[in-house]
Structure 1
Amino acid sequence: MKITIAGAGAMGSRFGLMLHKGGNEVTLVDGWPAHVNQIKEHGLQANFNGEELTVQLPVELQSEIHSEEKTDLIILFTKAMQLDKMLQDIQPLIGAHTNVLCLLNGIGHEDIVEKYVPMENIFIGNTMWTAGLEGPGKVKLFGNGSVELQNLGKNQEQAAIDLASVLSDSGLNAKYSDNIHYSIYRKACVNGTMNGLCTILDTNMAGLGETRPAHDMVVTIVNEFAAVAAHEGVMLDIPEVIEHVEECFNPETIGMHYPSMYQDLITNHRLTEIDYINGAISRKGKKYNIPTPYCDFLTQLIHSKEEILKAK
């Protein structure tokens, strides 16, 4: 299958590498010139579960798409605030039969994708894989993960099942879900706790879990997410979600990982996705008249940190 990874940062690079190893024709597209140039000149360098790999993959700067050849599948892995521009830039690659799978962190991205792609070609999902970007063209990929996805268009269930099979054939452990919005909110609870708290407290997830207030903070934030989700007809199993979130603290699994928001802001002084995670809950809370004080405050703290570090 001809696959384009739109947003070839840490997670996009992981999916690109694994899909390439699975025998697919993969092209990376990204908006960071240094990253693109490094991959062009030296290949994608990856520490893949302790094995050092260099993989030669086609890569293009999103503002310089030259090909008119349509792709079979686009997997979206941009930062949330970059999604609209990416879809504008890759229009030459999108044909009548191009499927688009959106795996971004956060909530509500399908509203943007629908502006560029017919509903029957849109699939949304989430992933529990982890990845780290160590510098231009260099990623660290460790641990195991999974993908859940669902079709947005009517009567496209088989297409979603087939898409999950393509991903699973490359070791990505994908499965079809008939309730993806539940899974997206469940994943958003992980992002809404681990990302912001680890970034503000300057620690990895295991370090956060070792602090005495960690459990109470997780409980409060998950309850805010759950209250908003319930208003939208998504009923989270709160105790199970809290347990799921706190599994991230385990240093023997992914606890030593620094979340993507930490990597963006603390390591690279880049703007974060906070407005599409806790900020989204804050906005929806105001809309639905649901108090979300922890999400409100955490969003403000991250924005203040962005200003202090002059993030761009």
Structure 2
Amino acid sequence: MKVAIAGSGALGCGFGYLLQKNGNAVTLMDYWEDHIQSIRENGLTISINGEVDNAKMTIGKPEEIEDKFDVIFVFTKSMGLRSMMEAIKHTIKEDTQIVCLLNGLGHAQTLSEYVSQKNIIMGTTVWTAGIDAPGVTHFMGQGPVELQNADPSQEEAARKVEALLSEAGLNGVYSEDVHFTIWRKACVNGTMNALCALLDGTIKEVFESSQIDFLLNHIVSEFAQLARTEGVELDVEETIVYLKALALKVGSHYPSMHQDLANRRLTEIDFLNGTVARESEAKGLEAPYCQMITQLIHAKEDVLGISK
């Protein structure tokens, strides 16, 4: 199968490597020149759950790619999704499936401006990743990649991508309610990502804090309150149990928002806690913890001199 990875940072490289290893024709697309040149000259060096390998992979900027693909995985930052879709329009066929595993909320609406609902597969992943140097990445996890077509009647398309991922060792799972999964993943990022970024700690360090129960309860409650207005029921206690169990599995990891600030990149906070704060206010609800977290992350971006 011809597969493209649109946004080939750490997570995209991990997916691309495993999909290629399983026999698929994979093309990485990115804009980071040093990363592109390193992979072209030296191959991708990747550590997967501690095992290191090096693989030759095709990579280029979206505008340089002439092929059309059966499946395109988008792994941009949330704020880069629209510009990436503009850049890859020429690589999309009538039946190309666009798989979106991005953090945050509201991405299906953006994708629907470029392809029909039947070609959009939404999902989440709990795999974690990081870039150690241009062309050198690490990839960790064992959890599921949950998927469902944006048009639930198109189950067959999502099932094919589920099989594609599972055969590559990426644990594809068909979801009967991807909206719930996306909201729960947003809670993961609105807690783990945001708190680790603000407190400058690993997930393990932050989740061992004496204040973690208080913080999780308030943040998750605000996510659950807004999700309910969209017909998604998030049980606060159950979600907190899920978060703590996940923290035990990936505790040594610095999540992506922490990595963004460390590398002086803009964060995705506006698509996580920022969305909860903004949409809650629009609906007459209160979300003071998400609002404060959003303001603090933006303040830290300002202190670090990160420009929008």
| Runs of 5+ consecutive residues of structure 2 not aligned to the other structure | none
> Aligned AA for 1:135?
A
1:142 CA displacement: 2.4
* 1:310 corresponds to 2:305: yes
Moved over 4 A (4+): none
Q: Structure 1, residues 203-247: CA drift from partner, whole Å, max 9, x if none?
A: 000000111001110111000000000011101122110111122
Q: How does 1:1-16 map to 2 (within 5 A)?
A: 1-16=1-16
* 1:43 corresponds to 2:38: no
Aligned residue number for residue 199 of structure 1? 197
Cα distance in 1 for residues equivalent to 2:143 and 2:31: 26
Aligned residue number for residue 292 of structure 1? 287
8 Å contact from structure 2 (residues 280, 286) kept in 1: yes
Give the SS at the match of 2:138.
Answer: strand
1:107 CA displacement: 0.6
1:154 CA displacement: 5.0
Indicate the RMSD between aligned Cα atoms, in angstroms. 1.1
Find the partner of 1:97 among 89, 95, 98: 95
Aligned residue number for residue 256 of structure 1? 252
> Aligned AA for 1:286?
E
Aligned residue number for residue 79 of structure 1? 77
Q: How does 1:207-218 map to 2 (within 5 A)?
A: 207-218=205-216
Cα distance in 2 for residues equivalent to 1:159 and 1:249: 32
Cα distance in 1 for residues equivalent to 2:142 and 2:157: 25
Q: How does 1:73-152 map to 2 (within 5 A)?
A: 73-152=71-150
Cα distance in 1 for residues equivalent to 2:179 and 2:241: 19
- Structure 1 residues 311 and 248 mapped into 2: Cα distance closer, same or farther (>3 Å)? farther
Cα distance in 2 for residues equivalent to 1:227 and 1:190: 16
Aligned residue number for residue 217 of structure 2? 219
Give me the TM-score of the superposition, normalised by structure 2: 0.97
| Runs of 5+ consecutive residues of structure 1 not aligned to the other structure | none
Q: Structure 1, residues 269-304: CA drift from partner, whole Å, max 9, x if none?
A: 111000001111111111111110010000000001
8 Å contact from structure 1 (residues 226, 235) kept in 2: yes
Aligned residue number for residue 157 of structure 1? 155
Give the SS at the match of 1:133.
Answer: strand
* 1:283 corresponds to 2:278: yes
Cα distance in 2 for residues equivalent to 1:300 and 1:29: 32
Cα distance in 2 for residues equivalent to 1:277 and 1:52: 33
Give the number of aligned pairs: 307
Give me the TM-score of the superposition, normalised by structure 1: 0.96
Cα distance in 1 for residues equivalent to 2:36 and 2:250: 28
8 Å contact from structure 2 (residues 65, 91) kept in 1: no
Give the SS at the match of 1:123.
Answer: strand
Aligned residue number for residue 23 of structure 2? 23
8 Å contact from structure 2 (residues 126, 141) kept in 1: no
